[in-house]
Structure 1
Amino acid sequence: MKGDTNMKILSGNGNRPLAEAIARRISVYRGGSVGIADARVERFSDKEIFVEVFENVRGEDVFIVQPTSNPANDNLMELLIMTDALRRSSARRVTAVIPYFGYARQDRRTSARTPISAKLVANLIEKAGVDRVLTMDLHAGQIQGFFDLPVDNLYAAPVFALDIRHHFQNAEGLMVISPDVGGVVRARDLAKRIGAGLAVVDKRRAGPNEIESMTVIGEVAGKTCLIVDDICDTAGTLCAAAKLLREEGATAVHAYISHGVLSGPALERLGGSLLDTLVVTDSIEHSAAVRAAEKIRVVSVAPLFAQAILNVGNDTSVSSLFREDTLAPIYEAHYRFA
């Protein structure tokens, strides 16, 4: 295994707290201090982005931690410009660590004369000079094929499985719910991990963000339901699904969502919903209102990404992090004090 001494972590403004948490974790794993590389990522008065890296990166393996969440365009441009700065400074390899990949929901043409924006973003990232992408729970798996470079897509499912085992002792009383037919594979994977049943909410839309009807496929009466999805945006589907499951006899409804976008009326809807708790990761930096919300709990993916970065830096397996037995020692301290 090659050494990881020539490794640097760089962060934009997309999610600085996550980048710092990843650096702290890497410091623990390596037994030495690892900080965020000294750099400035600023705006001129006309809002143009300017990047200056103050540390030598020649021959270094550099990891840029930058989700392309809201404001998606600003965060994406920061990522591209940071990559260009590193390339022009002779960095050996640049890995874009994108915990939340923006534009992922535009992964295909849904009607005539519409773009495939996820492919365009992939092209921009490649052209900027990124060598590898490290992300989590892509909205559509085929986005990996939009890149002509290695893409490691991590999963929140094993982290969620550890959290569920910590907070719910009776697996027989649990039922994992997919909020739509498209998410069945994700829900089935989590159900298999925790030994629970599986049900599906069949959702039919009248238009964007407008639900026409919902029905439950499966028996949820007397069960503690765990809705699993990759993105929660305005929370309309999630709250409607929680209401429907309660009407069908569920004793409690919780949700595990990889990326808590939580835009627009999301917090208001969640506060007045029949959902008991919403568990999200910190792939997106959450506002003070989200952190203060009574029903929302955040599980960190910093340990997961820290280990993945070390594995990439050492040219060892990333797929080993798809298993709970690999992640359990990494998250042991987190749940010991939870």
Structure 2
Amino acid sequence: MIVVPGPASQRLGRSIAVELGVEPYPLEWRIFPDGESYIRYPRPIEGESVVLVQSCPPPTDRNLIQLFLMAEGARKMGADNVSAVIPYLAYMRQDKAFRVGDVVSVEAVARLVQAVGIEEVVTVDVHSQESLAPFKIPIKNVSAMPALAEYLRMLPMKRPLILAPDKGAKHHAELVAETLGVTDCIVLDKHRDRVTGQVDIDERTIDLAGREVVVVDDIVSTGVTIVKAAEMASKRMAKSIYVACTHALLMGDAKERIKQSGVTSIISTDTVENETSIVSVAPAIASILR
């Protein structure tokens, strides 16, 4: 097996290779002045099982194209089979037409992934299981919640409460709570306006006084939902507020606004490599690849 860390997943790709006991492949790449990507395989891979590791956070389109180039190159170089670890699989949130005329982007991405010769995909905490339906190749969805929970276990929390900021995060929050042995798990009711993007969260009375609140979600992008939940927890006198998520995109000033809302710490995984990604999903992914 050859593990090829892509431009967007150098740290995670190397960690997966270490977990599997193989040397990470030294892929070469650069960006041309016009923004196009260059990919080169400097060593033979003919007859090998090749695992590409390339997450697709922003710049999403560039990272996707680089993945497609990596797959095309592996095929041309004679790889026996090509699998892709795509920790953050972009465009999965548009898995149905919410309004007339909406393009269902997940269907296009699925066709493109298959068209470049990728035979199997491993992803992490895909936004919804329904979004996997268009894929006609095997696709495995790994949960990062047990790894996040084990990190949370090390924090000085005496009375933790797990909070899902919306119904979509319910199963993630419940898995964290179950792993930690925490009985208190609350799910907030969120409404997002599809046109304006305005987010409203219920303001029901919840007793959070003196509690260590852990807000659990799969993706933190603009941070609007997290900020709303954190502000609610702050108003109800939570002792501390942590955010635990798989994919910390943190667009624009999201990180600053989240911190200003009263959040003590943002804890994320290396599906998106940044300063908050302190939990690795490499062991979980490697266990699937073995």
TM-score when normalising by structure 1? 0.80
Cα 1:275–1:38 change in 2 (3 A) is: closer
Q: Which residue of 1 aligns with 2:247?
A: 259
State the shift of 1:212 in Å: 3.5
Letter of the 1:230 counterpart = D
Q: Which residue of 1 aligns with 2:115?
A: 127
Cα 1:61–1:208 change in 2 (3 A) is: farther
Cα 1:297–1:261 change in 2 (3 A) is: closer
Q: Which residue of 2 aligns with 1:327?
A: none
Q: Distance in 2 between matches of 1:208 and 1:232?
A: 18
Do residues 186 (structure 1) and 172 (structure 2) align?
Answer: yes
**Given that residues 202 and 216 in structure 1 are in contact (C-alpha distance below 8 angstroms), is that contact kept between their aligned partners in structure 2?**
no
State the shift of 1:143 in Å: 2.0
Q: Kindly report which structure 2 residues correspond to 1:43-82, keeping only aligned pairs within 5 A, or say none.
A: 43-82=31-70
Q: Which residue of 2 aligns with 1:26?
A: 20
1:91 to 71, 79, 86: 79
User: Which stretches of structure 1, 4 residues or more, deviate above 4 A after TM superposition?
Assistant: 216-219
Deviation string 1:136-171 (CA, Å, 9 cap, x unpaired) is 00011112222111111100111012112222464x
Greater helix percent: which structure? 1
Cα 1:250–1:39 change in 2 (3 A) is: closer
Letter of the 1:305 counterpart = I
Q: Distance in 1 between matches of 2:81 and 2:277?
A: 36
Deviation string 1:37-69 (CA, Å, 9 cap, x unpaired) is 233223344333332212221221101010011
Deviation string 1:115-152 (CA, Å, 9 cap, x unpaired) is 11112111100111001001100011112222111111
2:186 to 185, 199, 208: 199
State the shift of 1:20 in Å: 2.0
**Given that residues 190 and 202 in structure 2 are in contact (C-alpha distance below 8 angstroms), is that contact kept between their aligned partners in structure 1?**
yes
Q: Which residue of 2 aligns with 1:299?
A: 279
Q: Kindly report which structure 2 residues correspond to 1:225-240, keeping only aligned pairs within 5 A, or say none.
A: 225-240=213-228
State the shift of 1:303 in Å: 2.8
**Given that residues 280 and 298 in structure 1 are in contact (C-alpha distance below 8 angstroms), is that contact kept between their aligned partners in structure 2?**
yes
Q: Kindly report which structure 2 residues correspond to 1:139-154, keeping only aligned pairs within 5 A, or say none.
A: 139-154=127-142
Q: Distance in 2 between matches of 1:141 and 1:213?
A: 24
State the shift of 1:96 in Å: 0.5
**Given that residues 257 and 279 in structure 1 are in contact (C-alpha distance below 8 angstroms), is that contact kept between their aligned partners in structure 2?**
yes
State the Cα RMSD in Å. 1.9
Cα 1:242–1:91 change in 2 (3 A) is: same
Q: Distance in 1 between matches of 2:277 and 2:37?
A: 33
Deviation string 1:189-235 (CA, Å, 9 cap, x unpaired) is 22222222111222223454422443247543332211110001111
Do residues 308 (structure 1) and 288 (structure 2) align?
Answer: yes
Q: Distance in 2 between matches of 1:285 and 1:181?
A: 26
Q: Distance in 2 between matches of 1:10 and 1:35?
A: 9
**Given that residues 216 and 245 in structure 1 are in contact (C-alpha distance below 8 angstroms), is that contact kept between their aligned partners in structure 2?**
no
How high is the sequence identity, in percent, across the aligned residues?
29
TM-score when normalising by structure 2? 0.92
**Given that residues 202 and 217 in structure 1 are in contact (C-alpha distance below 8 angstroms), is that contact kept between their aligned partners in structure 2?**
no
Do residues 160 (structure 1) and 160 (structure 2) align?
Answer: no
**Given that residues 200 and 218 in structure 1 are in contact (C-alpha distance below 8 angstroms), is that contact kept between their aligned partners in structure 2?**
no
SS of corresponding position for 1:227:
strand
State the shift of 1:19 in Å: 1.4
**Given that residues 223 and 252 in structure 1 are in contact (C-alpha distance below 8 angstroms), is that contact kept between their aligned partners in structure 2?**
yes
Q: Kindly report which structure 2 residues correspond to 1:233-252, keeping only aligned pairs within 5 A, or say none.
A: 233-252=221-240
Q: Distance in 2 between matches of 1:55 and 1:105?
A: 37
Q: Distance in 2 between matches of 1:272 and 1:59?
A: 53
**Given that residues 199 and 217 in structure 1 are in contact (C-alpha distance below 8 angstroms), is that contact kept between their aligned partners in structure 2?**
no
Do residues 211 (structure 1) and 199 (structure 2) align?
Answer: yes
Q: Which residue of 2 aligns with 1:174?
A: 160
**Given that residues 201 and 228 in structure 2 are in contact (C-alpha distance below 8 angstroms), is that contact kept between their aligned partners in structure 1?**
no
Q: Which residue of 1 aligns with 2:5?
A: 11
State the shift of 1:91 in Å: 1.0
